[in-house]
Amino acid sequence: MSNVENPFALPVGRITHSRADIIRILELLNSRREAITANFSGGDIVFQSRLRHVDPTGASIVIERAEKETANSALLAQLRCVFFAAPEGWHIEFIATQPQEISYEGRPAIGLAFPEVLVNLYRRAHARAAVPAAMQFHCTADAGGVLSFRATIVDLSVGGAGLLVYSPQITLEPGTVLKGCRVELKGEPPIVVDLEVRYSESQFLQLPDGSRAKRSGCRFINPPMELRRIAERLAIDLM
């Protein structure tokens, strides 16, 4: 798919730190009045807004205040925030810091430092295959770190991403590398692999017990042969 056919596409990869690329994507969101969202308090507070201005020098962005003041207060209390947008089948995710109340063109608004990183994924181009529940495919993410947490791998994609279901209190930002993740599949020896977070979904999942969870797409970094064999059993190429 060319950039002409898909103006939201990035020239290389799905994660970019390029200021020029981020400006282009954000200006598209701004010109098309696309909605952006952020979640706080484990999804209890949803901030919904739109971009108002993207500084062409890449110094800052301005967004509209949300209708709900509780959402504005939740955003302003953050040091950094992950925003989501979903135009035309794309999943766009960007990180911005230092939110503050400002006045823009005579109206109250919220200003933020320019986003450091942006993720862009064409969702329709990456079919996923569900991992059968009976396989009990679990993962202890960042097993050697201080923020280690348990997750469930619910499906795999042709792009090599495992989608993790985990606590809504955990924030995984794009580009984060989870070192030494311990992947456990029923009936198989544990597999240790590094995972790179590619994106996180803005919507929370409702689990059967009524609790909520998050999902992130994670790329296996240099997956060992054992993981490749599991992928073959599911007729998936981890790449």
pLDDT in tens, 178-232: 888 888 877 788 888 888 887 777 677 777 777 778 888 787 887 777 777 776 6
Rounded Cα–Cα distance for residues 34 and 46 (Å): 16
27 pLDDT above the threshold of 80: yes
Q: Of 143, 161, 180, 166, whose CA–CA distance to 220 is shortest?
A: 161
Q: Which helix (H) or strand (E) holds 224?
A: none
| pLDDT at residue number 11 | 58
> Under a CB-based contact definition with an 8 Å cutoff, are residues 115 and 96 in contact?
yes
> Under a CB-based contact definition with an 8 Å cutoff, are residues 144 and 119 in contact?
no
User: Which of 52-56, 108-112, 119-123 is the least confident region?
Assistant: 119-123
Rounded Cα–Cα distance for residues 200 and 163 (Å): 9
| pLDDT (tens digit per residue) in 127-183 | 556 666 666 678 888 766 667 888 888 776 544 556 677 777 787 887 788 888 888
Q: Which residue has the higher pLDDT, 96 or 169?
A: 96
72 pLDDT above the threshold of 90: yes
> Under a CB-based contact definition with an 8 Å cutoff, are residues 143 and 182 in contact?
yes
> Under a CB-based contact definition with an 8 Å cutoff, are residues 41 and 48 in contact?
no
Q: Which residue has the higher pLDDT, 238 or 115?
A: 115
115 pLDDT above the threshold of 80: yes
Q: Which residue has the higher pLDDT, 144 or 72?
A: 72
